[in-house]
Amino acid sequence: MDKYSWDLSKIYKSNVEFIEDVEKVKKLADKIETIKDDFRANFKEIVIGIDEIMGLLSKLYTYSHMKQDENTKITKSQQDALLIESLEADISGKLAFFEPDLLSLEENEYVKLIKDNGLEHYKRHLDKIFRFKEYTLSMEAEKVISSFSQSLNAPQSAYYFLTNADMMFPRIRSKENIRLTNANYISLLKDPDRKVREEAFNSYYKTMDFVDNTFASLMYNNVNKLVTEAKLRGYDSARSMELYKDNVSLEVYDNLIDIVHEYLPYLHEYYNFRNEIFGFKEHMYDVYLPTVSEFAKKIPFDEAKETIKTALKPLGDEYIEILNHGLENNWIDVYPKDGKKNGAYSWGDYDSDPFILLNYTDDLDSLFTTAHELGHSMHSYFSRKNNDRIYSEYSIFVAEVASTTNELLMLKHLLKNAKDKNEKLYLMDHYIDSFKSTVFRQTMFAEFEKITHETVENGESLTVDKLNEIYYDLNKKYFGDGVVSDEYIKLEWARIPHFYSNFYVYKYATGFTSAEILSHKILNENGLENYLNFLKDGSNNYPLDQLRSAGCDIANKDNLRLALDVFKKLVEDFKETYKK
């Protein structure tokens, strides 16, 4: 086995084993279907059976899609992936009865069923479903809502096809007449030629402006759908409904916005200093331009492994021993290959290694990506090794915390050991940019979501003019007077697909601030034991409780200030270093 390739035979050694599990999961699902009508009498068999089915489905889905990603040109892999997608859809339909039937139970009956059937081990898992009972409608009403689910998702689907298939952008004359696309837009905004940046910006939004009413209609209907459902279910607001899923209070969301507002002057200070460096006042088409020239350093993968192990040494012997095992035992598919999926991810199954797909290119970005994905994989490893399958999958709310903690430990290590001024400036600017894009920008998006949903809840419509007004005012607030808020930036809301993943973006900001706090505690306050316990918790506790136990209470404004103080000092240090 090539040491730079992953070894998926650790999941299935042969196609025979794969097909055996396909048949096994079909039989299990068929059996559940025959006993589901007497839900109470067969409660134990149903709960345990579904647990087994979901475990097998996860294994089959993970393997088939990773095998396909390994080489997308292999027909057999494509067929297997499609087979499992079809199987998953079929089984999901067969098991759709479970949550409605569980939620139809009275609380005393629910508690008795768990006790009488000896299912205490499953109670915490089932409680996370049963807590939605007070917001669950009658069986008939739930069936009506379910029957409209595809139609209710129409705004998101229409947005996807409008932006990815139907819209045709013009060619950029100042850049060899290349076609402007969604894929190359940001790279064009990083072009050193200001004419290219300006033309790309204006051409992009001029095209979107032609269909701005369509975008507004899609946005309004997506927001109104959520607002209507929240009212029907008895939630105080759409935001309350979405945050309830993670047991997160509105206070956490609002505190994030409040504290980020406090630190906007330091973001404005940074943009003003960029104006000094560039010799012109920035427009919105300039904000992606790198502040300092790229630090070009070739970092072969074997060197990257050693750098990562050194940077992550503060995570302790147990962590480094497992990390080293993964690096040397085919957890990672390292290099780009013909037919291989682009990008990077960490994936795996409860019974398998936490595998990583990379497209490593011997540069600093690849080094950070590797450290990031190893953070995901190590979180998964600890979570799975310390919990039964049903409690081994951590929440999306904390999914980016461990990976970002790794990145920040790497960044702090590289900064500490920077060899010259240019390297230090580049790394500091990379750090500042991480705050800009992950904390400030995502919080601006989160504030936009809050305002738009509250607007509809107050009985107003979201017209193009209203959406443009909300977004333009926020943009001016976040970028300050040091950047010209060009007229077209008012339409940027129409470019952000995450607005169709309701109240999701704030998790990027809370994830980064949490990682900043935790990395500081690991390095300076003996925070390692609490951090490792966080990695090992799986889904035993709710996300905020997990972070609180790790030493990071993001419901506390002072904790958020600790993270943003790092940004404040970075800006000061960057200016001081640049002027030397």
Among 70, 199, 242, 373, the one annotated catalytic: 373
Phi/psi for 357 (5° steps) reads: -100, 125
Model pLDDT for residues 81-116, shown as the tens digit of each residue: 999 999 999 999 999 999 999 999 999 999 999 999
Buried b (16+ CB within 10 A) or exposed e, 62-82: bbbbbbbbbeeeeeebeebbe
The average pLDDT across 486-504 equals 97
373 is catalytic: yes
Model pLDDT for residues 188-230, shown as the tens digit of each residue: 999 999 999 999 999 999 999 999 999 999 999 999 999 999 9
The per-residue pLDDT for 397 is 95
Lowest-confidence region among 46-60, 152-166, 380-394, 451-465: 152-166
Question: Distance (Å, rounded) from C-alpha 324 to C-alpha 315?
Answer: 13
Q: What angle do CA 467, 472, 478 make, to 5 degrees?
A: 130
Pick the closest to residue 553 from 246, 128, 255 (CA basis).
255
pLDDT band at 1 (very low <50, low <70, confident <90, very high): low
The per-residue pLDDT for 139 is 83
pLDDT of 293 > 90? The answer is no
Q: What percentage of the chain exceeds 90 in pLDDT?
A: 95
pLDDT of 143 > 90? The answer is no
- DSSP character string of 514-558: HHHHHHHHHHHS--HHHHHHHHH-TTSS-HHHHHHHHT--TTSHH
The average pLDDT across 542-563 equals 96
Question: Distance (Å, rounded) from C-alpha 62 to C-alpha 85?
Answer: 11
* Residue 290: other Cβ atoms inside 10 A: 12
Prediction pTM value: 0.95
- Confirm if 515 and 401 have CB atoms less than 8 A apart: yes
**Burial classification of residue 7, based on how many CB atoms lie within 10 Å of its CB (0-12 exposed, 13-18 middle, 19 or more buried):** middle
pLDDT band at 168 (very low <50, low <70, confident <90, very high): very high
- In order of start, what are the domains of the chain with their CATH numbers? 10-151 (1.20.140.70)
The per-residue pLDDT for 510 is 98
> 282: which strand partners?
483
- Contacts of residue 195, Cβ cutoff 8 Å, sequence gap at least 6: 174
- Contacts of residue 493, Cβ cutoff 8 Å, sequence gap at least 6: 219, 448, 467, 468, 470, 471, 499
